[in-house]
Amino acid sequence: MRSALFSPVELSFTAPGGPVPADRTPLTATFTHENGRHVEVPGFWDGDDRYLVRFAPELEGRWDWTTDSDQHDALDGQRGDLRIAPAVAAEHGPVRVAGTFHFAHADGTPFRPIGGTVYNWLHQEDRLFDETVEATVEAGFTKLRFMVFPQAGGYVEHFPDLLPFERTPDGRWDVSKPVIPFFRRLDDAVRLLHERNIQADVLIFNAYDNGRFGLDTLTEDEDAAYLRYLVARLSAYPNVWWSLCNEYDILDRPDERWTRAGELLAATDPHDHLRSIHNMLRLYDHNQPWVTHASIQLGQATEDFGRASLFRDAYRKPVVLDEIKYEGDVPLRWGQLDAPQLVHQFWIATVSGCYASHGESFVLPSGSLHMVEGGRLRGESPERLAFLRRLLDEIDRPGLDPIDNWWDPGFVAGVPGRVYVQYLGRSAPGEWTFRLPQGHWGERLEVGQRFEVDLIDTWNLTLSTVPRVFELSEVRRNEAFALDSAPVPLPAGEALALRIRRVTE
Amino acid sequence: MRSALFSPVELSFTAPGGPVPADRTPLTATFTHENGRHVEVPGFWDGDDRYLVRFAPELEGRWDWTTDSDQHDALDGQRGDLRIAPAVAAEHGPVRVAGTFHFAHADGTPFRPIGGTVYNWLHQEDRLFDETVEATVEAGFTKLRFMVFPQAGGYVEHFPDLLPFERTPDGRWDVSKPVIPFFRRLDDAVRLLHERNIQADVLIFNAYDNGRFGLDTLTEDEDAAYLRYLVARLSAYPNVWWSLCNEYDILDRPDERWTRAGELLAATDPHDHLRSIHNMLRLYDHNQPWVTHASIQLGQATEDFGRASLFRDAYRKPVVLDEIKYEGDVPLRWGQLDAPQLVHQFWIATVSGCYASHGESFVLPSGSLHMVEGGRLRGESPERLAFLRRLLDEIDRPGLDPIDNWWDPGFVAGVPGRVYVQYLGRSAPGEWTFRLPQGHWGERLEVGQRFEVDLIDTWNLTLSTVPRVFELSEVRRNEAFALDSAPVPLPAGEALALRIRRVTE
């Protein structure tokens, strides 16, 4: 059996079908690489008499596999092998943490999340479902946040018939009986995003059931059975990210229950995908070892400089501000930003060394919002966010870090000695005088080093290079200056950023 | 033997003196209260043939005690009892965490830390040592940060002869042989602060040895021996706070070593004093269970609104900004604030629901700084900080919390429905319109509730009440207004705060 690096391989087995055990998987396949490394991959029931194991190898060459099952003899002791070829073009493998605060694919390719939010995407009719993907691709977004369990409540105008589990005779959910068409649809959704180069930020649980489905009333054991099934089913797709819950703190549960669920997620995922949990008002302890990156909502965190970066200091992990309020026109304060303000907040997140997610909340003819049901995008921010992402993609390091987070009135981010980005805010001054912070890490600034400066108009999407070179003439303990260079005149009042690159020839 | 609640009791034993074992205490006394509660208190060697056990009981009534020792028969199996009377006046017991983000004494009395910093206080001649205490009392500071091990390096002009340990024949420190006069001097210093109603923020280790004493080159086992001895010696003083290290990240040690030291501190302190660790650039993981409150240095954290409070969100513990830069005139950026700026930053810390420490860094005739050697205070900030503390003392709750940390452009702190404080910054506008945030916790604002407003001039130290009452006429989802009230004229340009109190009669 031949396959390619990072691509899912599916092994299929036949045995009498039956309820999914809550506390374990029906079979486990152990894959052993020729170099001795081995990976234990949980299998899952896929309806009728069909059992599957999905594995995405991260080493080329020969892998032998064998199965174990205490449920069915037919699932136990099966054997085989795989020959894994180099990765196909455009397949970079799963995204992982890189450089403490950033992300990169398994093959080292940097990944910059600028993602969309369409909570109920999975639960829409096909036309809207497909339109959402096209809009996401067109916007240049690299990630999509969506929920496995459907949403109810304000602005939710469509409710699906296809639900994740069968019900017991007394009307409770029976998590031992997953509805296979539901989960095959979820497979297809994740695979479609993968084909379109979009990370699937899978919201495993959510706080928006509002008594309609009762999927937020499962017991902790039932949650665990669902989580094991979901992980076994989706983990081999390279583009999966796990978000344990959206606005977890709306649900009345002790933090310890979330910690146990998160630790189960970390323990059962053979492909070690990114893991987070997202809050409404009360931040989770993102220093917990199971959390790979902080996923944070806090309305004012990106409204001004010097805030979001403090979360990097507190957690020493990537910080993704997964709700910084939305471009839209609802009367609620989370959904009425204008596009210039949302773009502004993305730039602040960027020079804070953090990442943010987009959402759109114009009230649609359906009565719903894009962030709920998807479809085409109407706002003015996506084009500007794509421009921002292309600028980030020109940097050959995992990401930008604040150069001197202890104190820097310019809030300059970058890679010391190589490239710096300074964002001047929504209303630039009439001129800018060359100045760089000298941080406590990376390459040191020295007198005589030369830089060129690009002026970036973050709203009008222009980039122009100042036609002169700036040479450092004075380097103090914490700052460096090019005192022989006249100030750079700026188009005052525009939302400008500066990119300052070392000239090394 | 009679004593009073929270006051130290000292038991004295005689046995052949000798080196202090590194991995355990020479004797342990178990105190058992008549209600069954028991406390294990480590003893320590106090020179010659003298061993002491110090215990500060937190329950009135009868306590029986018995000793265990595997070192000397004379220290083993001793017995006795104590009768503990009510606390003496002014003795409120050790300070502990209260209301998640604040502090209170064991008897419930709120405690607001506005503390001074005199690193090398312990190591000065008597005249300067005493003058520092008088100046701290006069300033109204409630806490003093000082180091057990002496400091060397810039601005340190005096080096003590009295050092904590004897040396081995080959010149290394012998932590099994504490120098008793050194530690008796430390006892006296802590006791003196207690008599003057000042918390002793004891910096157990520090990063400023600079090769002079070599006290930063002890092994981890030697550090542990010292720490056990220090805890046994000082823990019974009610005013002790433990700061594991000042600027811990200057020392080249893995975080895990600090964690082990912190966990040892938590495990061995029978009186469970407050525990923290202080950074230069790299924040410690203050979510670690052994940490009771986050002690943070980050230069820009209190320079503007909306920053420091994020550390509360991240850690859900009290946040003490133990270095927010100093009032002074050194050429280094940490020590050249003017007094208005330092006072401003204290007010920002306060409305962020956090606390801060004072330090003074004018270059003295000795060549040193107050924050190094102490003496009288020269700056203009202490008087303003005492005024701030008196205002805090008028609040009958543990402290002020941001009402709506998700988003509040006014950054109003307070106790919902009762009292609010809004700080307007260093340059007030010409008028202020009544507005309160409606948070997600505590008492709800409702139409018809009435408030009175005090204008506080944080620099000129005046407080005046606006001669009218403000009645809520409109309460929205996140904000409340008194639309029938004209704006309040303000003395524009001054550093003003508003205190808004509910009128309930």
Same structural domain, A472 and A370: no
- The CATH number assigned to the domain holding B269 equals 3.20.20.80
Q: Average pLDDT of A309-331?
A: 97
Same structural domain, B9 and B37: yes
DSSP label at A418?
Answer: T
Q: Which chain A residues have a beta carbon less than 8 Å from that of B314? A: 283, 286, 310-311, 314-315
Report the length, in residues, of chain A.
505
Look at B333 and A306 and tell me if their CB atoms are within 8 Å: no
> A24 falls in which pLDDT band (50, 70, 90)?
confident
pLDDT tens track, chain B, 505 positions: 569 999 999 999 999 877 777 778 999 999 999 999 999 999 999 999 999 999 999 999 999 999 999 999 999 999 999 999 999 988 999 999 999 999 999 999 999 999 999 999 999 999 999 999 999 999 999 999 999 999 999 999 999 999 999 999 999 999 999 999 999 999 999 999 999 999 999 999 999 999 999 999 999 999 999 999 999 999 999 999 999 999 999 999 999 999 999 999 999 999 999 999 999 999 999 999 999 999 999 999 999 999 999 999 999 999 999 999 999 999 999 999 999 999 999 999 999 999 999 999 999 999 999 999 999 999 999 999 999 999 999 998 889 999 999 999 999 999 999 999 999 999 999 999 999 999 999 999 999 999 999 999 999 999 999 999 999 999 999 999 999 999 999 999 999 999 999 998 7
Q: Tell me if B100 is assigned to some domain.
A: no
- Phi, psi torsion values for A224, nearest 5 degrees: -65, -40
Confidence at residue B1, expressed as pLDDT on a 0 to 100 scale: 59
Q: Tell me if B295 is assigned to some domain.
A: yes
Nearest by CB to residue A287, choosing from B287, B332, B408, is B287
- H and E: helices and strands count for chain A: 8, 34
Whether the CB of A278 is below 8 Å from some CB of chain B: the reply is: no
Confidence at residue A203, expressed as pLDDT on a 0 to 100 scale: 98
Q: CB under 8 Å to A200, separation ≥6 — which residues?
A: A143, A144, A146, A189, A190, A193, A194, A237, A239, A240, A241
Q: What is the pLDDT of residues A413-430, one digit of tens each?
A: 999 999 999 999 999 999
Whether the CB of A314 is below 8 Å from some CB of chain B: the reply is: yes
Rg (CA), chain A: 24
Q: How far apart are CA A293 and CA A156, in angstroms?
A: 29
Q: How far apart are CA B272 and CA A192, in angstroms?
A: 56
Last residue of a domain, one of B85, B114, B149: B85
Look at B314 and A281 and tell me if their CB atoms are within 8 Å: no
Q: How far apart are CA A222 and CA A317, in angstroms?
A: 30
Whether the CB of B154 is below 8 Å from some CB of chain A: the reply is: no
Same structural domain, B49 and B195: no
Q: Tell me if B96 is assigned to some domain.
A: no
* CA torsion, ordered B218, B219, B225, B231, to nearest 10 deg: 70
Same structural domain, B439 and B493: yes
Q: Average pLDDT of A341-364?
A: 98
Q: What is the pLDDT of residues B229-269, one digit of tens each?
A: 999 999 999 999 999 999 999 999 999 999 999 999 999 99
Q: Tell me if A96 is assigned to some domain.
A: no
Collapsing DSSP to helix, strand or coil, A96 comes out as strand
Q: Are B115 and B193 in contact (CB under 8 A)?
A: no
Long-range CB contacts (within 8 A, 24+) of B187-194: B187/B233, B187/B234, B187/B237, B189/B121, B189/B122, B189/B129, B189/B146, B190/B234, B190/B237, B190/B239, B190/B240, B191/B237, B192/B133, B193/B133, B193/B144, B193/B239, B194/B237, B194/B238, B194/B239
Q: How far apart are CA A480 and CA A475, in angstroms?
A: 4
Whether the CB of A326 is below 8 Å from some CB of chain B: the reply is: no
Q: How far apart are CA A438 and CA A442, in angstroms?
A: 10
Same structural domain, A216 and A352: yes
Q: How far apart are CA A35 and CA A40, in angstroms?
A: 16
Average predicted confidence (pLDDT) for chain A: 96
Whether the CB of B285 is below 8 Å from some CB of chain A: the reply is: yes
Q: What is the pLDDT of residues A166-192, one digit of tens each?
A: 999 999 999 999 999 999 999 999 999
A277: left (phi over 0), alpha (psi -120 to 50) or beta: beta
Q: How far apart are CA B22 and CA B365, in angstroms?
A: 43
Q: Which domain holds residue B23?
A: 2-85
Give the gap in angstroms from C-alpha A307 to the nearest C-alpha of chain B. 5
Of B88, B87, B135, nearest to B378 (Cα)? B135
Average predicted confidence (pLDDT) for chain B: 96
- Phi, psi torsion values for B324, nearest 5 degrees: -110, 30
Same structural domain, B347 and B425: no
Same structural domain, A136 and A244: yes
Q: What is the pLDDT of residues B3-41, one digit of tens each?
A: 999 999 999 999 987 777 777 899 999 999 999 999 999
Give the gap in angstroms from C-alpha A439 to the nearest C-alpha of chain B. 11
Same structural domain, B445 and B381: no
Nearest CA in chain A to B478: A333
Q: Average pLDDT of A235-243?
A: 98
Q: How far apart are CA B223 and CA B211, in angstroms?
A: 17
Whether the CB of A300 is below 8 Å from some CB of chain B: the reply is: yes
Last residue of a domain, one of A45, A69, A85: A85
Q: How far apart are CA A243 and CA A297, in angstroms?
A: 13
Nearest CA in chain A to B323: A406
Q: Which chain B residues have a beta carbon less than 8 Å from that of A300? A: 306, 405-408
Strands (E), A269-358: 275-276, 294-297, 319-323, 327-328, 355-357
Q: What is the pLDDT of residues A62-113, one digit of tens each?
A: 999 999 999 999 999 999 999 999 999 899 999 999 999 999 999 999 999 9
Same structural domain, A374 and A427: no
Cα–chain center distance at B318 = 10
Q: Tell me if A91 is assigned to some domain.
A: no
Chain A 174-213, residues with CB within 8 Å of chain B CB atoms: none
Q: What is the pLDDT of residues A42-51, one digit of tens each?
A: 999 999 999 9
Chain A 417-446, residues with CB within 8 Å of chain B CB atoms: 440
Q: Which residue has the tokens 């017995």?
A: B79
Collapsing DSSP to helix, strand or coil, B222 comes out as helix
Chain B 382-411, residues with CB within 8 Å of chain A CB atoms: 405-408
Tokens of A227: 């989580």
Quote ipTM for the complex: 0.95
A365 by Cβ neighbours in 10 Å (0-12 / 13-18 / 19+) ranks as exposed
Crossing angle for the helix pair B220-234 and B255-268, to the nearest 10 degrees: 30
- pTM reported for the whole predicted model: 0.96
Q: What is the pLDDT of residues B325-370, one digit of tens each?
A: 999 999 999 999 999 999 999 999 999 999 999 999 999 999 999 9
Q: Tell me if A95 is assigned to some domain.
A: no
Look at B287 and A283 and tell me if their CB atoms are within 8 Å: no
Of B119, B113, B140, nearest to B370 (Cα)? B119
Q: Which chain A residues have a beta carbon less than 8 Å from that of B323? A: none
Residue A19 has pLDDT above 90, yes or no: no
Same structural domain, B126 and B250: yes
Give the gap in angstroms from C-alpha A94 to the nearest C-alpha of chain B. 28
Q: Are A112 and A355 in contact (CB under 8 A)?
A: yes
Residue A2 has pLDDT above 90, yes or no: no
Q: Which residue has the tokens 């102490």?
A: B374
Q: How far apart are CA A164 and CA A181, in angstroms?
A: 9
- Phi, psi torsion values for B410, nearest 5 degrees: -90, -10
Interface residue of A348, A406, A412, A440 to substitute, partner B, most B CBs within 10 Å = A406
Same structural domain, B24 and B167: no
Confidence at residue A118, expressed as pLDDT on a 0 to 100 scale: 98
Last residue of a domain, one of B393, B414, B443: B393
**Overall domain count for chain A:** 3
Nearest CA in chain A to B476: A332
Q: Tell me if A428 is assigned to some domain.
A: yes
Residue A359 has pLDDT above 70, yes or no: yes
Q: Which chain A residues have a beta carbon less than 8 Å from that of B298? A: 310, 313, 405-406
Same structural domain, A363 and A409: no
Q: Average pLDDT of A54-62?
A: 97
Of B29, B31, B33, nearest to B77 (Cα)? B29
Nearest CA in chain A to B283: A313
Confidence at residue A1, expressed as pLDDT on a 0 to 100 scale: 60
Rg (CA), chain B: 24
- Portion of chain B with pLDDT greater than 90, in percent: 96
Q: Tell me if B302 is assigned to some domain.
A: yes
Q: How far apart are CA B299 and CA B389, in angstroms?
A: 22
- The CATH number assigned to the domain holding A478 equals 2.60.40.3950
